């Protein structure tokens, strides 16, 4: 019973794709929404999940990071790893 309560309390932060326009936002500056170009999706539990998004700066594929719950670009052109969070028009995903 205790495990059931724990599983109900967890939030699912998987970046699902529901055929709407997806925006990303830089986690450091938080100033503007950037339209995202989705490169790859996969079907998981009968829902489409975004697997990779194009980086708006260097145009290389970014991969989903479970620890940060963001898309991370690890290209050497940046001064460090860039992290972008998926948002919708109505707010955070």
Full 3-state SS string of the chain? CHHHHHHHHCCCCCCECCCCCCEEEECCCCCCCEECCEEEEEEECCEEEEEEEECCCCCCEEEEECCCCEEEECCCCCCCCEEEEEEECCEEC
| CA–CA dist 30, 47 (Å, integer) | 28
Q: 88 pLDDT exceeds 80? A: no
How many domains does the chain fold into? 1
**What pLDDT band is residue 46 in, cutting at 50, 70 and 90?**
confident
**What pLDDT band is residue 54 in, cutting at 50, 70 and 90?**
very high
Q: 91 pLDDT exceeds 50? A: yes
CA 32 to chain centroid, in Å, comes to 16
Range of the domain at 81: 12-92
Q: 41 pLDDT exceeds 60? A: yes
Q: 65 pLDDT exceeds 80? A: yes
**What pLDDT band is residue 9 in, cutting at 50, 70 and 90?**
low
């Amino acid at each position: 019973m205790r495990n059931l309560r724990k599983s109900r309390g967890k939030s699912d932060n998987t970046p699902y794709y529901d055929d709407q326009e997806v925006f990303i936002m830089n986690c450091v500056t938080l100033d503007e929404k950037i339209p995202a170009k989705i490169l790859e999706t996969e079907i998981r539990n009968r829902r489409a999940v975004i697997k990779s998004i194009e980086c708006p700066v260097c145009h290389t594929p970014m991969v989903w990071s479970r620890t940060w719950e963001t898309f991370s670009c690890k290209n050497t052109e940046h001064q460090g790893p860039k992290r972008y969070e998926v948002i919708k028009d109505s707010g955070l995903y």
